[in-house]
Structure 1
Amino acid sequence: MKHRRNTPAFTFLAWASFVLSFLAMFIGIYTLDASLPVKGYYVVSALFLTMSSFVLQKTIRDNQEDDRNAGVGLYGEPEEKRQKNTSS
């Protein structure tokens, strides 16, 4: 069985908050008293912000996993060197 870092309740909370905030944003844009081009601008901006947030968090996570797999510490120096410096 695959080990999960988060509990099912926390995963549900994360997805529920994402969906609810997404719906609230689009309901707010739909009911906004503005012209169609203004609403379109807000929709495109909201979608771009959402997509770029996902891409940014994936890139950061992938880079951290690559560093961990390569034995590189948090500050970019090799893990062995960092451990020697802290134990001295």
Structure 2
Amino acid sequence: MSNENEVLLDKGKQKDPKLKVQRKEGEPTPAFIGASWGALLVGVAAYFIGLFNAAMQLNEKGYYFAVLIFGLYAAVSLQKAVRDKDEGIPVTNIYYGISWLALIVSISLMGIGLYNAGSIDLSEKGFYGMSFVLSLFAAITVQKNIRDTQRARERD
């Protein structure tokens, strides 16, 4: 049988009692992929649920929404630029610098916004900060997993 995912059978009996899926070299494990997507979904969902239930004006909610989206994009863009550079794929210095600047600006905007938010309790500020950081980290990890999986499959 040529398919790596099929169970080996010998006269109707399994040689290996466990179904073993062969991963390609460099490909992340399904558990790591699932954990990364789970962290991203939990971080973003918690952030959005917090925003939805927050007692702030709509323009404030819009600010925190925009900062999260900007931060997610900046984090993924920077991860891609750093990895491209490391792998010898051409990356212009302007794009590399803008990617760093965008991530720094998004984190700064979140910090400044939370510092100046007088209507938000300290515990809520911590909640927004942690869900923001979790979301950024998870977005980087999901993008890395997608790229690693694609690269492992292209090697064949």
Question: Going by fraction, where is helix more abundant, 1 or 2?
Answer: 1
Q: Does 1:38 align with 2:60?
A: yes
Helix, strand or coil for the counterpart of 1:66?
Answer: coil
Q: Does 1:13 align with 2:35?
A: yes
Q: Which has the higher contact order (CA 8 A, sep 6+)?
A: 2
Distance 2:27 2:84 in 1: 16
Residues 1-10 or 55-64, more deviating: 1-10
- 71, 82, 106: which is aligned to 1:60? 82
Q: Could you tell me which amino acid in structure 2 is paired with residue 60 of structure 1?
A: V
Q: Which runs of 5+ in 1 are unaligned?
A: 68-88
Distance 2:86 2:26 in 1: 18
**TM-score between the two structures when normalised by the length of structure 1:** 0.69
Residues 14-37 of structure 1, C-alpha deviation per residue, up to 9 Å, x if partnerless? 111011101101111111100000
Helix, strand or coil for the counterpart of 1:62?
Answer: helix
Distance 1:19 1:61 in 2: 24
Residues 51-82 of structure 1, C-alpha deviation per residue, up to 9 Å, x if partnerless? 10110111111111117xxxxxxxxxxxxxxx
Between the two proteins, what is the percent identity of the paired residues? 33
Q: Could you tell me which amino acid in structure 2 is paired with residue 36 of structure 1?
A: L
> Where does residue 47 of structure 2 map in the other structure?
25
Helix, strand or coil for the counterpart of 2:78?
Answer: helix
Once the two structures are TM-superposed, the CA of residue 2 in structure 1 deviates from its matched residue by 4.8
Once the two structures are TM-superposed, the CA of residue 4 in structure 1 deviates from its matched residue by 3.9
Distance 2:26 2:41 in 1: 22
Distance 2:35 2:76 in 1: 17
Aligned residue pair count: 67
